[in-house]
Amino acid sequence: MAFVAFFNAVTDLGFHTANMKFVAEGRDQNACFSTYLTVKLGLVLVMAALSSAFIYASMRDGSVGRDTVLVVIVFIAYYIVQDIQATLTGMFDGRLESGKSSSVFMIEYVARSFILMALAVMKVSPAVLSLAYLLGTLISFSLAVYLFRRPRIRLVRPVYIKEYIRFAAPLSFSILLISSLDYLDKVLVGIYSGSLEVGFYAASMGIVWAFTSFGGSLNRIMLPHLSRIDIGKNPEEGERAMWTAERYMAMLILPPVIFLMVLGPEVSTLVFGAGYRQAGVILSYHSVMIAAFIFTGMLTQVLYASGRVALYGKAVMAYAVVVICGYALLIPDNVLGFQLGGLGGVGAAISLSAGYAFLTVLLAYLIRQKVGIRFYSKFWKHLASAAVSLLCLAAFVRYFDADGILMLLISGAVCLLSYAASSFILGELRREDVMMMADALNPKKLKESLDEELK
């Protein structure tokens, strides 16, 4: 699974970001799509050939079993369809047609979930069970093709290949480096703490990525918007847009982060069962990463939109140094006779949280120096509100047992209300903010927006 997931990282290498930026800037959409499709198909064919050769060699020498080979083949097919689908959703995102791309992703997740449940009840083999991923993405791909009909796009000569490569080249190393670090933590935890700890760690990361996927959705909107503004020439307008996004994101993400920080074990027990309480301990340390990851993503879009992609690569290298040092010092218990942290999954979680927090601060500094856009000046008020929320929630759970869904809901209300009250007192939460959020989540407005995109 890790091998074929790496497949997906290699077949991106920053070209999806390049395509969104170029489309948003008003380039010829026919040429953008043709260029992106050509590049994507080339990378997919190369990785499919290498993956097939790897699987064939592994099967010949007997290092992997037949069931494993079948599962990997299914996932290779899954990622091929996913990558072709990405060329369509990349055009939706570049044109700010977020309703279309969101519909495609939602249909895939829903279809996959239902198919997985049906196959699990039938108690099929792992290879057949993995077909749920392929069938789910085939259904979403069919929807993407249907939604791609308007405006009409023609295949033309891919004239932007050099420009796409020039933009994506500095990103490619960063993407591969981050992808490698995403797997190194699990490998090290497995080596020094065993497979059970890896299971706890993976369960914690599952909850983390469920929250951080929201940031990915936001980034698909922010990059085209900032590219249309041309923030290199209009940093003031870009700063206003970023301040609004950072302010609302703080209100949306900090309360859940505080909740998971205090009640990670209880949440993990509810989601995975009593045997996974240790995963919740890891989740408590992972919680900081959720907010830092999302804000890092937002800041990264500023560098992309302003054409400062190389700065992102340098920042990621510094981030990698921090994370690797954390892994080395906190995960093992003993190396060459030196006593180290021996924290296992907790050590990996601390390393990633510290790394992303460092990367957020570094990117904010670089953007202010090189692009002229400051980080939201009143962000300290949200940190103060988060501190108040943390104290209130910690005091509440000290006197009341938070086990069970009802008590978790009550604890969540305490966390949210204390944060909202503090933000209101500090002037960061206003009546119009509540009305705006309610309006944005209004099903009728969402339907009208989607209907407008489908015209």
* Distance between CA atoms of residues 329 and 323, nearest Å: 10
Same domain for 186 and 153: no
SS3 of 286, please?
Answer: helix
Specify the pLDDT at position 65. Answer: 72
Does residue 154 sit within a domain?
A: yes
Same domain for 254 and 291: yes
Same domain for 215 and 151: no
Residue with tokens 């933009």, as numbered in its chain: 167
Full domain range(s) for residue 201: 172-455
Last residue of a domain, one of 129, 159, 189: 159
Does residue 86 sit within a domain?
A: yes
Same domain for 239 and 155: no
| Cα→Cα distances 421→101, 120, 327, 400, 425, Å | 35, 45, 38, 22, 6
Structure tokens at 195: 């497979």
Cβ count within 10 A of residue 25: 14
Same domain for 121 and 41: yes
Same domain for 350 and 247: yes
Same domain for 330 and 398: yes
Q: Which residues of 130-164 are buried (b: 16+ CB within 10 A; e: fewer)?
A: bbbbbbbbbbbbebbeebbeeeebeeeebebbeeb
Task: Tell me phi and psi for residue 339, to 5 degrees.
Answer: -75, 130
The number of domains in the chain is: 2
Same domain for 217 and 150: no
SS3 of 333, please?
Answer: coil
Over residues 230-277, the pLDDT tens digits come to: 787 888 999 999 999 999 999 999 999 999 999 999 999 998 888 889
Question: What predicted TM-score, i.e. pTM, was given to this entire model?
Answer: 0.85
Same domain for 367 and 256: yes
Does residue 166 sit within a domain?
A: no
* Distance between CA atoms of residues 194 and 210, nearest Å: 25
CA 120 to chain centre: 27
Same domain for 136 and 185: no
Does residue 445 sit within a domain?
A: yes
- Identity (one letter) of the amino acid at 106? M
The neighbouring-strand residues paired with 339 are 334
Name residues whose C-beta falls within 8 Å of residue 233's C-beta, 6 or more positions apart in sequence: none
Does residue 164 sit within a domain?
A: no
Give the residue ranges of DSSP H helices in 371-404.
379-399
Last residue of a domain, one of 108, 125, 159: 159
Last residue of a domain, one of 100, 128, 159: 159
Same domain for 317 and 277: yes
pLDDT < 50 stretches in the chain: none
Does residue 428 sit within a domain?
A: yes
| Cα→Cα distances 69→52, 57, 60, 127, 128, Å | 10, 11, 11, 9, 12
Give the residue ranges of DSSP H helices in 148-194.
161-193
Specify the pLDDT at position 220. Answer: 78
* Distance between CA atoms of residues 295 and 286, nearest Å: 15
Does residue 246 sit within a domain?
A: yes
Does residue 101 sit within a domain?
A: yes
Same domain for 301 and 154: no
